[in-house]
Amino acid sequence: MTDTDPASQPEDPARRRLLGASVMMGTAFAFGIGPVAAANTQNGRDNNSMRTHTVERIQFSSGGETLVGLLCAPAGAPAARAAVVLLGPFGFVKEQSPAQYATRLADAGFVALIFDPRCSGESGGSPRRHEDPLDKIDDAKAAIAWLARRPEVDPARIGALGVCQGCSEMIAVAADEARVKALVLVSGQYLYAENLRKFFAGGGPTLEERIARGRAAKARYEAAGLVDYTDVVSATDPAAGLPWRPIHDWYIPWTSQKWGAPSRWENRYTTMSDAEVWSFDVDLHARQLRTPTLIVHGEQSDGGPEAAQHVFDRMPANDKHLRIVPEIFHTRFYDDPLVIEPTAALAVDWFMRHLA
């Protein structure tokens, strides 16, 4: 089923429930997930009376590395709650868009786990800031396995949520992981060649040139241990990983004091990541996806409605829904409360229906 809806839906009962429980603030730091607020959490209980959820700093293992995450849970949550694992955009850390959705899910009654993938943020792994969809897929599966052992989680009621490039990776997770019973994809960057050729059509290196650049950097690393880096975003360099000015303008504040110190996001990634990231084919996994799936995509999200429709059409899932939000740009799904509130409400409703 597909449809088009405005960015806000006051008649939606799930949205009313969520608006009643959520704190109307627009940044992960304001939601208390930044470095300062982490000190306000003791024994898994949040001392900030403004919120209706707790935040616990946790660790689990994946691929031989220790990953660090934040477990958001309803205050006073009894055992056997439904739970959701989240993945964010290219180069993300947990304090960015994943925190926006995790806190809202927790306020709505779910246990939500966000984490730094290996080689990023507080998690272990080297070389630092290496991006590999296959590693993130394995990290998400390890997170699911860890969640399933938690006493406050019902292992039969686990969902997954992806934002931006995390959508492509979560499709692969859900297609292969039977414990994922429901999937929500928000403002996806869907990694398939046709879409990526358009994404890189702004005058910098082409898709094929980026993959070649990554393979050459990987060869240098394997031969001599040399690690080349590329900027994630740049206002002037079209060879950056995400070569679009509006994306640059969203990410750069994360390098400033605006979000507290120290910032865990770095404006760099290993150049050899290009070999794995841009050659990943989400279609291979979408064709195997039978998990109930909700796609929420802005009219101006990456690839436009046609990219979301492309992936939607390839999913054999019987229970699937595509919602296109008119006029909304890609990164507004990252931290704009006017967009996140109704989007999170749709996610809450989807998970309530499928993780009951």
Q: How many domains does the chain have?
A: 1
The CATH number linked to 41 is 3.40.50.1820
Residue 346, in any domain of the structure:
yes
189 within 8 A of 303, measured Cβ to Cβ: yes
Specify which residues 73 forms β-bridges with. Answer: 54
Q: How far apart are CA 284 and CA 278, in angstroms?
A: 14
Residue 176 lies in a domain: yes
For residue 140, what are the domain limits?
A: 2-195+281-354
Q: Closest Cα to residue 130, out of 246, 247, 232?
A: 232
Does 212 have pLDDT greater than 80? yes
pLDDT per residue over 97-154, tens digit each?
999 999 999 999 999 999 999 999 999 999 999 999 999 999 999 999 999 999 999 9
In a domain, 209, yes or no: no
In a domain, 56, yes or no: yes
Whether 194 shows a pLDDT value over 70: the answer reads yes
Q: In the numeric block, which tokens belong to residue 334?
A: 């990252």
Contact, 37 vs 55, CB < 8 A?
yes
Assess if residue 107 is contained within a domain: yes
In a domain, 337, yes or no: yes
Q: Give the global pTM.
A: 0.86
Query: If you average pLDDT over every residue of the chain, what do you get?
Result: 87
SS3 letters across 50-64: CCCEEEEEEEEEECC
Give the pLDDT confidence of 8-44 residue by residue, as tens digits: 333 333 333 333 333 332 323 222 322 222 223 322 3
Q: What's the number of CA atoms in the CB half-sphere (13 Å) around residue 345? A: 21
* Whole-number Å distance between alpha carbons of 84 and 82: 7
The CA distance from 138 to 140, in Å, is 5
CA Rg, the chain, in Å? Answer: 19
Contact 349, 16 (CB under 8 A): no
Q: What are the distances in angstroms from CA 145 to CA 136, 167, 178, 188?
A: 14, 19, 11, 24
**pLDDT given for residue 260 in this prediction:** 64
Residue 58 belongs to some domain of the structure:
yes
Helices marked H in the chain — which ranges?
13-21, 35-38, 97-107, 133-148, 165-176, 193-199, 207-224, 245-251, 273-277, 282-286, 304-314, 332-335, 337-354
